[in-house]
Amino acid sequence: MSVRISRLSPRLVTLAIVVTVQCILLLIALVPPSIWADHGMPNGPIPTEMAPVVAGLFYVLPSVTGMLARRWQVAILLATLPAWLDLGIFAIAAASRIGPYYLVLEPHAVSTVGTLELFAALGALGWLARPFIIGAYARLRRVAAR
């Protein structure tokens, strides 16, 4: 198993880590505050001082996912994958308390679609920025080599 992991490129490992972190953060955000309060965490598991950083990560992580993907289809799929997974987990977990149609009701459907659109757009923008970042990195390496 460790031999196979060592063959993975750093880009793929980083991509997996970014998507996993995005999944975890989004899942934490979907848990209702009352559940966190029941577990002795009135502000959730993330310290209040870190809230701006976490909010920024919701924008940065899908963009980084797009930058790390080589094809635009993969960039959009992986940027939205955490939202698809977490919304699915939330819908299944909440179905017994809220009902099976929670995510398709008018106010919630707009939020769900908006989240997917935002992550898809950020992933696409990250993919579009990829050539510029690779070019800038190559120029920096040439300058440093002189």
Collapse the DSSP code of 18 into the 3-class scheme (helix H, G, I; strand E, B; otherwise coil) and give the result.
helix
What does the pLDDT look like over 39-84, one tens digit per residue?
A: 888 888 988 899 899 999 999 999 999 999 999 999 999 999 999 9
What's the pTM?
Answer: 0.81
Distance CA 101, CA 130 (A): 39
Q: Does residue 65 contact residue 15 with C-beta atoms inside 8 Å?
A: yes
Distance CA 53, CA 80 (A): 20
Does the pLDDT at position 1 exceed 60?
no
